[in-house]
Amino acid sequence: MNTLYVNGHIYTQDPALPRADAMLVTDGRVAWVGRAGELGTGVAAERVDLEGSTVIPALGDAHVHFMAYALLRQQVDLRGARSEEEAAQRVANYAARHPDRPWIRGHGWNEHVWEGGKLPTRASLDAVVPDRPVVLSRIDGHVLWVNTRALEAAGLTDETPNPPGGELVRDERGRLTGILRETARKLIHECLPAPSLSERVEALRQAQQEALGLGLVRLHVIEGPEALEAFQVLHAAGELAVRVLFLLPISALEHLRPLELRAGFGDSFLRLGQLKIFADGTLGSRTAWMLEPFEHEPENRGMPIYTSEELNTLVREAHKAGWPCAIHAIGDAANRAALDAIEQAPPCGSSLPDRIEHVQIIHPDDMPRLRTLDVVASMQPIHMASDWRLADYWWGARARWSYAWRSLRRLGTALAFGSDAPVEPLDPWPALAVAITRRDLNGLPEGGWYPDETLTLAEALEGFTVGVARAAGDPRGGRLVPGAPADFLVLDQNPFDLAPEALARLRPRMTVVGGWG
């Protein structure tokens, strides 16, 4: 089947032909793109008049916890709560609306936007929900806030020791406060009732419609086997409408190796990607692994999840089995350790590249190494909007090398942009505005935060299109060129004509996947 789109303003992301006004789609792929009069009359095709609309390649998200996002859409949303009391009241309201739910779960609290900036405690949750366990994840997903019933359900007491790589936070008298950091979260997660397969599938079914409505077609999903199972069920039913690259945790390697599976296994809608490894924590929880101590905390260099030797071994074993890695690295020490591990590992023989997730702050000496080692920088522009004040406070002058999009791109590093949802909203359009202004969604700071690191809109769009495809080992994806999947957006407004605040509110009129809208 041939479909000829005409009378459009088509941005191809192809340097050889950046603009066109017509595009021929055959069997779900771009067959030709150019000027309408150049195609000739010998092609039989259904004509679609774009009526002057703008067309761009469909967007992708290179880092999303999509099952978590889908399930969290059904839980307490604590994003935007301005105090511990407001967050607790939202929990109380949710519990009252759902009296049949044995556990109350939620996400998105952030003590840094509360007056005083102090971590919450279980007391405020005990006051509103004393009879059921409450488990609330911080906005970065690396810290839990729980009530007493949740601690009891997990068998945790004041005498429970901290697990390796984690912390059960205690008050000055040694009593548990209800805050669990990093690997300590597993002590709670292990006793949480898991959603059923049918609940997981239905959550994905609904959430993918939201993604398509935002113009997102490619999703790099970083989650565990339970999420993969749900995606497989949705795919087998012919209902998976977005293209998913699925990144399993490094712990899956012991199960994948005997099956002789390798990265890239699957089809154009569901493929296995890199293996995810955590090298450190986060900026907000001050567990990012740093070369030098945090400002104002001279004894704190963050929290490495593995020693350098352990990280080297994990990457080496993954490569030997045919799996490139996606290494979570926030701090500059973590980024250096990740690059060292990749450099020392043997080639993995995959068309998919190694990648570092976040690259939130990197020492300038390490910047050229990403291009040299062909490592993709998987970054989330919206994090800058949320964290620039924290970066200034905790990293001081070093913050100049955080969220360094322009510097990395200038060195030839492939940038793949995403959201890190549900840590941040799934919506890519505000992130594009942040990438081109280096300002948050309130327009601060004036003039932009380290404005030398801004991108042009075309460059930022590449991060959400070409870069996402590059991280998936797809050399043609993300562009509207012959042979590429016919994945594109039809827009009523030209994003290149919009002010940043208008760009942040843009939505596609139509999202086309494989030639079908």
Residues 6+ apart with CB under 8 A from 164: 183
Let me know: does 471 contact 359? Beta carbons within 8 Å: no
Residues 6+ apart with CB under 8 A from 244: 66, 219, 220, 221, 231, 269, 270, 271
> Strand pairing partners for 355?
326, 376
Let me know: does 13 contact 478? Beta carbons within 8 Å: yes
Judge whether residue 132 has pLDDT over 90.
yes
How far apart are the C-alpha atoms of 358 and 374, rounded to whole Å? Answer: 16
pLDDT at residue number 315: 98
pLDDT at residue number 120: 97
pLDDT at residue number 423: 87
- Report percent pLDDT > 90 for the chain: 92
Which of 25-39, 292-306, 464-478 is predicted least confidently?
Answer: 25-39
Pick the closest to residue 437 from 499, 495, 393 (CA basis): 499
pLDDT tier, 227 (very low <50, low <70, confident <90, very high otherwise) = very high
Residue environment code for 281-295, b if the CB has 16+ CB neighbours within 10 A, otherwise e:
bbbbbbbbbbbeebe
- 241-281 pLDDT, tens digit each: 999 999 999 999 999 999 999 999 999 999 999 999 999 99
Quick count: other Cβ atoms within 10 Å of Cβ 279? 27
pLDDT tier, 45 (very low <50, low <70, confident <90, very high otherwise) = confident
Residues 6+ apart with CB under 8 A from 499: none
Judge whether residue 41 has pLDDT over 70.
no
How far apart are the C-alpha atoms of 189 and 183, rounded to whole Å? Answer: 10
Let me know: does 387 contact 424? Beta carbons within 8 Å: no
Question: Residue 385 is encoded by which pair of tokens?
Answer: 């909007």
The average pLDDT across 491-514 equals 97
Estimate to the nearest angstrom the gap between the alpha carbon of 79 and the chain centroid: 17
Judge whether residue 473 has pLDDT over 70.
yes
Query: Rounded to whole angstroms, what are the CA distances from 491 to 10, 27, 29, 187?
Result: 10, 23, 20, 47
Q: In whole angstroms, how large is the CA radius of gyration of the chain? A: 23
- 402-446 pLDDT, tens digit each: 999 999 999 999 999 999 998 899 999 999 999 999 999 999 999
Judge whether residue 517 has pLDDT over 80.
no
pLDDT at residue number 141: 85
Judge whether residue 155 has pLDDT over 90.
yes
Residues 6+ apart with CB under 8 A from 358: 63, 328, 329, 330, 378, 379, 380, 383, 420
What DSSP assignment string belongs to 117-132? Answer: -PPP-HHHHHHH-SSS
Across the beta sheet with 216-222, the strand order is: 59-64, 216-222, 243-247, 270-272
Pick the closest to residue 60 from 499, 300, 417 (CA basis): 417
- 323-359 pLDDT, tens digit each: 999 999 999 999 999 999 999 999 999 999 999 999 9
Quick count: other Cβ atoms within 10 Å of Cβ 74? 16
Judge whether residue 383 has pLDDT over 80.
yes
Fold exhibited by the domain 75-189? Diaminopimelate Epimerase; Chain A, domain 1 (3.10.310)
> Strand pairing partners for 179?
145
Q: Which one is the CATH code of 1-52+480-517: 3.90.950.10, 1.10.10.10, 2.30.40.10, 2.120.10.90?
A: 2.30.40.10
Query: Rounded to whole angstroms, what are the CA distances from 292 to 296, 334, 357, 362?
Result: 12, 12, 21, 12
Residues 6+ apart with CB under 8 A from 433: 441, 500, 501, 503, 504
pLDDT at residue number 160: 97
What ranges do the domains of the chain cover?
1-52+480-517, 75-189
The average pLDDT across 379-400 equals 97
Let me know: does 390 contact 439? Beta carbons within 8 Å: no
pLDDT at residue number 99: 94
Q: What integer best gives the mean pLDDT of the chain? A: 96
- 88-99 pLDDT, tens digit each: 999 999 999 999
Let me know: does 345 contact 319? Beta carbons within 8 Å: yes
Judge whether residue 181 has pLDDT over 90.
yes
How far apart are the C-alpha atoms of 180 and 277, rounded to whole Å? Answer: 20
